[in-house]
């Protein structure tokens, strides 16, 4: 896909999805600063939003501050704990709403997630003239998301710097 400097870009990061993928696949943490740099790719950044779940752990606050310092607007939602002990925390609906609201101001939407539930959003955006790029770890990214996106960056691929560039040990 052709990328040019005049494109207006919005980056939307499913932090939980990326965190768990990096941890489970590579026993590492995502270098979100490098992911943002790859997503923007010398184009005009309009918004970069990182969606996080707050479980009230001490170390999370430092991580959330680091995201903020790296240029992300941090959207936080508290982890829900139900009576039976089940826990739930996801931002899928919130991300979709934000993307649709911001899409008219963007030429390119970059979704940093492996979640295939975003494929219908990709199709909606494309039908309205917005290019959509996805970034994730191929091993945990939905094939449908990869197929529907206009471009895909595999964070595990050594040809683009892969683990050395996008992971922190």
Per-residue pLDDT of the chain (169 residues; tens, 9 = 90+): 678 999 999 999 999 999 989 999 999 999 999 999 999 999 999 999 999 988 776 777 888 999 999 999 999 887 555 566 665 567 889 999 999 999 999 999 999 999 999 999 999 999 999 999 999 999 999 999 999 999 999 999 988 877 788 988 6
Q: What residues does each domain of the chain span?
A: 8-168
CA nearest to 155, candidates 131, 133, 139: 139
3-state helix, strand, coil in the chain (%, to 5): 45, 30, 25
- Domain topology for 8-168: Rossmann fold (3.40.50)
In this prediction the pTM is 0.92
């Amino acid at each position: 896909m052709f990328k040019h400097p005049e494109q207006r870009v919005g980056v939307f990061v499913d932090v939980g999805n990326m965190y768990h993928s990096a941890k489970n696949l590579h026993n590492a943490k995502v270098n979100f600063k490098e992911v943002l740099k790859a997503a923007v790719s010398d184009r005009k950044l309009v918004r970069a939003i990182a969606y996080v779940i707050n479980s009230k752990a001490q170390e999370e606050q430092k991580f959330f501050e680091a995201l903020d310092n790296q240029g992300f607007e941090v959207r936080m939602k508290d982890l829900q704990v139900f009576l039976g002990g089940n826990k739930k925390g996801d931002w899928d609906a919130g991300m979709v709403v934000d993307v649709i609201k911001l899409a008219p101001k963007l030429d390119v939407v970059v979704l940093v997630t492996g979640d295939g539930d975003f494929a219908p959003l990709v199709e909606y955006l494309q039908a309205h003239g917005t290019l959509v790029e996805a970034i994730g770890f191929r091993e945990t990214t939905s094939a449908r998301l990869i197929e529907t996106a206009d471009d895909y960056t595999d964070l595990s691929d050594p040809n683009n710097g892969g683990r050395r560039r996008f992971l922190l040990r």
